[in-house]
Every structure is written in C-alpha cells, then in structure tokens.
Structure 1
Amino acid sequence: MTESNRPAHSLSSLERLWLTEAVRLREEHAGPLEDREANRLAQAAGGDLVSRIESRALWLAQRDGLFGALQHWRQGAQLALIVLLSLALLSGAGLALAALGDGQRPVNVFWALGSLLGLHLLMLLGWALGLAFAGDSAGSLGRLWLWLSEKLARDAQAAQLAPALLLLLQRQRLSRWALGLLVHGLWLVVLLAALLSLLALLATRRYGFVWETTILSGETFVALTQALGALPALLGFALPDAELIRASGDSALAVESARQAWAAWLVGVLLAYGVLPRGLLALLCLWRWRRGRAALALDLNLPGYSLLRDRLLPSSERLGVCDEAPQHLAEPQAGAAASNSAGALLVAIELDDRRPWPPALPKGLANAGVIDSREQRQRLLEQLTRFPPARLAIACDPQRSPDRGTLTLLSELARCAGATRIWLLQAQPGEALDSERLGDWQQALAKLGLSYANSAPLSWLETGHD
C-alpha cells in the first residue's frame, strides 16, 4: 500500500495533527481549497469541532498528495540523519587522532583536552544560552538537519511540512526538546566515537604526557589537574598525584604508571565532562518530549480553524458555495464503500426535459431521479454517505460538455458506492450525436478511472454482472 492510499486511521496522533496544520498553512498562503465533499464527509463522521476539522484536513491531505509528501519528508529526514550520524562518527574519530597524534611526540595533556572537549563545551554553552534567552534552541545541528531533510525529500509538497511541524510543536514549546534530543544525540555519538577511538589508540600505541607553560606556575597546573580530575575520581578513575603532575612539566615520564595515570585522567575527564552531560541532556529532552507530546492539540483560536466552525458545525445548512478549482480532480477510488454498501441505484444528471425518464426498471432497483440543482446534489450525497449502494449507475447526456462541476459530482458519487458505471445516453430521435463531445466524455471518464457504457447497464445493476 502506497503512502498516498494509506488509511487515515493508521496515522499516529502526531501525524494527524501535523497534516491538519499543514493543510491550514496551505490554505493560509494559497487561499481556501475546494472542500465541499471534505466538509460533507466530516459532518457525516460526527464528533466535536476538533475531530471534524481533523477529518476534513486528512481527506484534503490525501486528495492533494500530502500523504505521499509526508512519506517523502520522512525518508529525507531519515537520510539526513544517516548523513549526520556518519559525519558524527568520523568527527569523533578525528578528534581522538588530533588529540593524541601519531605517538612520535609527547602529548600536551591540556591541548589534547581542548581538542576533545573545546568545541563540545562551546556548543553546549550556546545551546543553554539559546534555551534560556530565546526560549527555543534548535542549534546549528538541528537547523542543518531540517534543511537537509527538506532538500532530500525532493517533493514540492514536502516544503510545507517542516514549518507546519515546527509551528505545531512551538505551541507546546516542544520544538526545543525534539530538536534538543537530536542535537544532544548527535553530540553523544561524536563523543562516544572519540572515547572509543581514544581507548583504541591508547591500547595500541605508547604515548608520553606533558604539560607546558611560560607564564603560569607549576602549582597552577597541579591545582587545575586535580580540580578537573575530582569528578572522574568519583567515577573510579585514577587521579595523578601532585608529584607526578610536577614531574610531567619537565618531560614525558617514561614510567609506565605515569603514562597509565595520565591516560586514565584524560579518559575520565572526557567521560565526565563530555559523554555524561550529553547523555543526561538527551534523556531529559526525551522525557520532556514524551511528556509534552500527549498534550499536543489544535489551536482553535487560529483564524484558519475558527472560520471552519460554521461550515463543520452549522446551525443551518448552507448550499451552493463555489470554491476555486483544484489543480486536479480526486480519483473516485471505486469500491471504497463496499464494506457497508447494499442495493443498487440509478441516478441521472442534468437531463433535457424532453428526454423520457426513467426507463423501465427491474424490480428491486431504486431510482434517485434527475439531479439538476445544488440542493438535490447535496441531499443525494448525504443520503449516499449514510447508506452507500453496492452498485450505482449514473446517466449522463454526452451532448452536454463534461464541465468541472459535473466531473466532480461523478467522482463524489463514485466514492459513495461499492461500484459505479457511467451510462452515456444515446442521442434522441432526430438528433445526431456529437462525436467530439462524446470523445471528451470518454477521455475525462478514463482519466478519472470510471467505467462507462453507451447502453443501459440495467442487467449489471440488477445482478452485479452483464
């Protein structure tokens, strides 16, 4: 089953709200959509205003291709995440190599520490400041992921989805936690890759460690080393003593215990001030995301939703509203109502008064008459929505042009029946059938995926086969 044909009930609550918000943004920027059938089906489904707005939006989203766009955006987001994860792994390994070098020269412990944790701490500080003062902080990694997701989606419709998702999340201040989870998760991958690479290098090469200074005293480095090592020491990592720290200021000690003490200190500091903070922040963001996701809801005070109140919860029916033409007519998807359909029905659309109607019908076939007005059209659609027929035959006069309104009505009627056939009537006695208009009808019906016949499909209506 393709995403465009995916049933709306299979969507998660977040996806339903997301698509509803995307439809609102689309109507806000491009004007109201042709939504007569969507409104009718939403009213027939019942429920409160929120559920009706959601039903309407999901029907429009499926008709206009937003279901497929959502799938394309998710695929682009997953691909963007894979790219960023790959870069994170390579960056982490690069940090470890830059910190320790090739082992030919002694490692300056504080330069190594700056290489491993410097950028991480700066970015963490920027994230915290953005969260405190801006209220939301996507971070550079979060913005990069959103940009890559949109570019990799390769769907014009998908361009509306990222803004819709951010607006939806920002109302509950969830975007900070959703994107924060992404940012901290990626940094956690970077630091874990650096930690594993660091352990691999320390296990396979012999490194000597020194510290160097020109203007600071040796006691300053002793105090700084012990202060940084206090937290790792609580986690069980060895802390170099004062004498060993002072001795390492002159040259790299060849003593194995000194190398191991400095290696343990470096690994412990990376774990305590890099991996653990990012891991804890990622867990915090995950907890806040899951907690706030359940509270997501539509904001009915927005103009796009408040204007739908009278149309979806009307105090009296309003018929005859003309909307802008959609870019394409929705395919009828015949058989969608087959699960609860029964009986057979014949209906005609805008027939000439001189044409005798209805024909003689076998017993058991219902006749819905001739549909000439919007009121008749609306009543019939509402009736078929509640009681869909198993088989529906629609008689049309091919002498009339197949205009947009008629084709839209045919699609709407076909979606209310288990199976549908169009009956293109013969010309009346003394009249010649316009072959060009007949060709237009046949082309239009073929484009909609509706079967048609030039003879009365009464046997099919009665028995289900010709």
Structure 2
Amino acid sequence: MTEPTPLHRLWLTETVRLREEQAGPLEDLEANRRARAAGGDLPTRIQHRALWLAERDGLLNALRHWLQGARLALLVLALVVIVSGAGMAFAALGNGQAAVNVFWALGSLLGLNLLLLLSWALGLAFAGEHAASFGRLWLWLSEKLARDAQAAQLAPALLLMLQRRRLNRWAIGTVIHGLWLLAMLSALALLLMLMSTRRYGFVWETTLLHSDTFVAVTQALGALPALLGFGLPDTEMIRASGDTALNLENARHAWASWLVGVLVVYGVLPRLLLAVFCLWRWRHGSRALSLDLNLPGYAQLRERLMPSSERLGVSDLAPDTLHSAEAGATALESEGALLVAIELDNQRPWPPTLPNTVRDAGILDSRESRHKLLEQLTRFPPARLAIACDPRRSPDRGSLGLIAELARSAGATRVWLLQAPPGQALDADRLGDWHSALQRLELPFADSAPLNWLETGHD
C-alpha cells in the first residue's frame, strides 16, 4: 500500500482519535501546522493531521501489516473451507460401495449451510447485526498474523467507524458468504468428479413416512432446478427407488442431475447472490463514510486546525523521545537556500556575509519567531537549509526538536556548530553531546560555514 485510500485515511484518523482518547493528546504542533498549510475543510485537515501522526508514530506501517495479516487469514480460511466443502461431498456420496440415500446426501451437502444461513438472516432481521463465527475468526486471525503491537488498535477503530453507518454487517457478510460460496463450489466440483468416475445408485428409505411424502418433497425440491435444465425423476422412478437402487442408467442420471441441481439452486446460488448483495451494499456505504465532527476528539481540533485568530499560548510538553529528522522528506517542491541560527547571544556578529542566492532567516530566539519561520517553510520549503547552533549551550530536547522540525521542511539540511568567540573555548564534553545528538537525528554537521554548499549544492 503506497498511498492510503480514502477508507484507510478515515480508518487511521479514527485510530488516532481513539488513541488520544485513551492515552491523552499527542504532541502535534508540527502535524497541526502541516494540516493548516495543506488547506481544505475541517475534515480534510483532520485527516491530514492524523495521517502525518500515523506515519510518524508507526500506525501507517501497522495498518500495512494488518492488511497483510487480513489477506493471509482470508487465504487460510479459504483453504479450510475448500477442504471442508470437498469433505461434505465425499461424506454425501461415500466410496460407491453402497447405494446413496438421497436425503442423507442432501442433508450432508446443505444442512449446515442452510442452518447458518437462516441464523444469519434472523440475526440481521431482529438484532440488526450478526457477529458470525467466520467474521470473528477472520478478525482474530488478522490481528494475530499482523505481528505488530500497534495493530491491536486498528480493529476496534475500524469496527466503531463502520458501526456508525451499520456497514460492519455488510463487510462481514461479504466475507461470510464468500467463504460459504467457496465451500459450496468445492463440494460441487468434488461431487461432479466423483459422479464422473464412480457408479452410484440412489435410494430413499423411511419407516414412518408414506412414499407419497417423498414423491412430493422430491418434486418440490427439483422444481426450481428443473427450470434451469437439471433432471427431475418422474413419479414412478421415485417410488421405485424406495425399494432398491435402480440399476438403470437413466435412473442414475436423473437422480444425479437432481442432486446436483438442488445443490446449485439451494447451496451455490443463495450464497452467490448474498455475497454480491453484501459487496454492493459495502461499496455503496463505504463511499459515503465521513468523519463525525460532533465527537469530542474532533470537535476540539477545530480551533487548532481552522483558527479564527492566531494566538500564542503555552507550548506542549516536550516529548520523551525525539522523532527522526527525515531531512529531504518534504513532499513539496523545494528551491533556494536558507541560513538560520538558533538562540545566539550578542557576542557573535550575525549574519555572516552571504552569497546573493542564500537568504538569511535571522535568529530564532522566541516562540513567535519559530512558529513564523516554520509556517513559511511549510509552504515554501528550501532546497538547502543550514542551521547554525552555538555548541556552548547544551543540546536540550527543545533545541533538538526544533532542528528536527526544521530539517523535515527542507530538501537537504546541514548543522553548523559555530566556533567559540575569541578568548573562549568550547567544552569538549558538551561538544561531544552535540555530535551524539545530531548523529541520532541522522543530520550532517560541521564546524565550518557551509556557505559554498548553500550556494552551489556541493562543497
């Protein structure tokens, strides 16, 4: 999955909402800024924010793993039902040594299928939902085969999102009827193969019921298949089959065609039609899915993503870990070169003499200046960005977070660790801390001015 589909975007957005509802708000300043820069209405900005957070925190990869697990689980279940369908056909006909009791054979082929089909219909009619065993098993297997701890958050978010439009019944219904259709087709294929390679005789037996009952039932069950061209034993043939299996070729052909026709009409066709119907309802409903903006998790994002006015407030708490800088990962077209400094004191003249093609972004020494520059870089990212830092200061989480955020808004980034002013020396341990921190961010750094690189793109 290279680009998330609209359904996957909604799914990830709902997962992020549940995660924040359970564990508290995420650190989202950059995500909010990128969502505002992307534009669009509120649902579009909420989805843009959630997709960025999902990619940053690993939820997007977890979704890929869950989808892979779902496909593998579906394949496992498909293999199971194919074998089960073949087993039903073999149990119905046996090895050919004894005559086939047509109604026992019919019960083996259709009994469980029709009972579960009736259960699904009753659950849908009276309860409105039906948590079928195949559906629960598929979701459970999908989560287990995903092998990703974060994938556990995806299934509840998907079910909640679908339940609001009652789409889960159609999604699970498509899977259930599709699997049963596969089982019926497997039974039909083996039935035809066995009948083509072995000679079977057909009888019906009873102690309590009258022969007229079996004649009526046989003709009633065979009426619809007969309209499709399948054979139907006549009354005399049905009565004669109650004593012993008729050793007549036309009798065997009539009973075999009747049995195949009943399996097709009452086993294969209902599951096929229901699978197509559920798939149609699912596709029609999934296209109409949207965010419920009345939910608290979404309502409180309105002012942050579509502010009526820009305000300064208290910054969010610093995260426990810094996210990768991912320099050059911006999806926007970048051009030009930019030099920016972070928290320099008055002892150092700034800026240095710059080539005409390099712009000076000044010194970031306040929250307002940082936000203003980040907003500009989000809309107009530079191709090359040099960040000047004073290594006499400690590389705290705030500074490193800002460096990483700046780097994510540029095509390529280098960090310039400035020399100490005349008469002062750099602390070796503190300089080593800077080197270690920038290596963790995977950003190149140097103690000399990268002006030639800013101007030309190479040293």
What is the TM-score when the length of structure 1 is the normalising length? 0.95
1:285 aligns with 2:278: yes
- Counterpart of 2:138, as a letter, is W
- Counterpart of 2:51, as a letter, is L
Q: Deviations over 1:31-51 (max 9, x none)?
A: 111000010111111111111
1:353 aligns with 2:346: yes
Query: Structure 1 residues 327, 234: CA separation in 2 closer, same or farther (over 3 Å shift)?
Result: farther
Q: Please report how far the alpha carbon of residue 185 of structure 1 lies from its aligned counterpart in structure 2 after TM superposition.
A: 0.6
Q: Please report how far the alpha carbon of residue 352 of structure 1 lies from its aligned counterpart in structure 2 after TM superposition.
A: 2.9
- Kindly indicate whether the alpha-carbon contact (under 8 Å) linking 1:33 and 1:323 is maintained by their aligned counterparts in 2: no
Residue in 2 that maps onto 1:445? 438
Residue in 2 that maps onto 1:128? 121
- Compare 269-278 and 171-180 and name the one that shifted more: 171-180
- Counterpart of 2:134, as a letter, is L
Q: Please report how far the alpha carbon of residue 459 of structure 1 lies from its aligned counterpart in structure 2 after TM superposition.
A: 2.1
- Counterpart of 2:316, as a letter, is D
RMSD after superposition: 1.7
Residue in 1 that maps onto 2:397? 404
1:193 aligns with 2:186: yes
1:303 to 287, 296, 304: 296
- Compare 112-121 and 233-242 and name the one that shifted more: 233-242
Query: Structure 1 residues 433, 85: CA separation in 2 closer, same or farther (over 3 Å shift)?
Result: same
Residue in 2 that maps onto 1:383? 376
- Counterpart of 1:150, as a letter, is E
Residue in 2 that maps onto 1:83? 76
- Counterpart of 2:367, as a letter, is R
Q: Secondary structure at the residue paired with 2:72?
A: helix
Whole-Å separation in 2 of the counterparts to 1:190 and 1:339: 50
Residue in 2 that maps onto 1:104? 97
Q: Please report how far the alpha carbon of residue 320 of structure 1 lies from its aligned counterpart in structure 2 after TM superposition.
A: 4.1
Whole-Å separation in 1 of the counterparts to 2:226 and 2:335: 77
- Kindly indicate whether the alpha-carbon contact (under 8 Å) linking 2:332 and 2:381 is maintained by their aligned counterparts in 1: no
Q: Please report how far the alpha carbon of residue 228 of structure 1 lies from its aligned counterpart in structure 2 after TM superposition.
A: 1.2
Whole-Å separation in 2 of the counterparts to 1:364 and 1:453: 21
Whole-Å separation in 1 of the counterparts to 2:314 and 2:189: 66
- Kindly indicate whether the alpha-carbon contact (under 8 Å) linking 1:350 and 1:396 is maintained by their aligned counterparts in 2: yes
Residue in 1 that maps onto 2:367? 374
Q: Secondary structure at the residue paired with 1:340?
A: coil
Whole-Å separation in 1 of the counterparts to 2:221 and 2:63: 48
2:315 to 322, 325, 333: 322
- Kindly indicate whether the alpha-carbon contact (under 8 Å) linking 2:386 and 2:416 is maintained by their aligned counterparts in 1: yes
Residue in 2 that maps onto 1:208? 201
Q: Secondary structure at the residue paired with 1:163?
A: helix
Whole-Å separation in 1 of the counterparts to 2:49 and 2:285: 25
Query: Structure 1 residues 358, 146: CA separation in 2 closer, same or farther (over 3 Å shift)?
Result: same
Whole-Å separation in 2 of the counterparts to 1:321 and 1:173: 41
1:392 aligns with 2:385: yes
- Kindly indicate whether the alpha-carbon contact (under 8 Å) linking 2:10 and 2:47 is maintained by their aligned counterparts in 1: yes
Residue in 2 that maps onto 1:60? 53
Whole-Å separation in 2 of the counterparts to 1:164 and 1:202: 49
Whole-Å separation in 2 of the counterparts to 1:276 and 1:381: 60
- Counterpart of 1:86, as a letter, is L
Q: Secondary structure at the residue paired with 2:178?
A: helix
Q: Please report how far the alpha carbon of residue 333 of structure 1 lies from its aligned counterpart in structure 2 after TM superposition.
A: 2.4
1:459 aligns with 2:452: yes
Whole-Å separation in 2 of the counterparts to 1:349 and 1:320: 21
2:249 to 256, 264, 287: 256
For this pair of structures, how many residues does the alignment match?
459
- Kindly indicate whether the alpha-carbon contact (under 8 Å) linking 1:388 and 1:418 is maintained by their aligned counterparts in 2: yes
Residue in 2 that maps onto 1:176? 169
Whole-Å separation in 1 of the counterparts to 2:331 and 2:413: 11
- Kindly indicate whether the alpha-carbon contact (under 8 Å) linking 1:138 and 1:180 is maintained by their aligned counterparts in 2: no
Whole-Å separation in 2 of the counterparts to 1:109 and 1:456: 91
Whole-Å separation in 2 of the counterparts to 1:80 and 1:61: 24
Q: Please report how far the alpha carbon of residue 463 of structure 1 lies from its aligned counterpart in structure 2 after TM superposition.
A: 2.4
2:160 to 167, 172, 178: 167
Query: Structure 1 residues 239, 63: CA separation in 2 closer, same or farther (over 3 Å shift)?
Result: same
Whole-Å separation in 2 of the counterparts to 1:425 and 1:129: 75
Residue in 2 that maps onto 1:217? 210
- Counterpart of 1:164, as a letter, is A
- Counterpart of 2:168, as a letter, is S
- Counterpart of 2:10, as a letter, is L
Q: Please report how far the alpha carbon of residue 295 of structure 1 lies from its aligned counterpart in structure 2 after TM superposition.
A: 0.7
Whole-Å separation in 1 of the counterparts to 2:168 and 2:331: 42
- Kindly indicate whether the alpha-carbon contact (under 8 Å) linking 1:188 and 1:275 is maintained by their aligned counterparts in 2: yes
Q: Secondary structure at the residue paired with 1:422?
A: strand
- Counterpart of 1:394, as a letter, is I
1:39 to 32, 39, 62: 32
- Compare 423-432 and 330-339 and name the one that shifted more: 330-339
Residue in 2 that maps onto 1:428? 421
- Kindly indicate whether the alpha-carbon contact (under 8 Å) linking 1:226 and 1:239 is maintained by their aligned counterparts in 2: yes
1:242 aligns with 2:235: yes
Q: Secondary structure at the residue paired with 2:243?
A: coil
- Kindly indicate whether the alpha-carbon contact (under 8 Å) linking 1:338 and 1:417 is maintained by their aligned counterparts in 2: no
- Kindly indicate whether the alpha-carbon contact (under 8 Å) linking 1:32 and 1:323 is maintained by their aligned counterparts in 2: no
2:410 to 417, 436, 441: 417
Q: Please report how far the alpha carbon of residue 103 of structure 1 lies from its aligned counterpart in structure 2 after TM superposition.
A: 0.8
- Counterpart of 2:414, as a letter, is R
What is the TM-score when the length of structure 2 is the normalising length? 0.96
Q: Please report how far the alpha carbon of residue 332 of structure 1 lies from its aligned counterpart in structure 2 after TM superposition.
A: 2.5
Gaps of at least 5 residues in structure 2 are none
Q: Deviations over 1:244-268 (max 9, x none)?
A: 2222112212122221111111111
- Kindly indicate whether the alpha-carbon contact (under 8 Å) linking 2:318 and 2:398 is maintained by their aligned counterparts in 1: no
Q: Secondary structure at the residue paired with 2:129?
A: coil
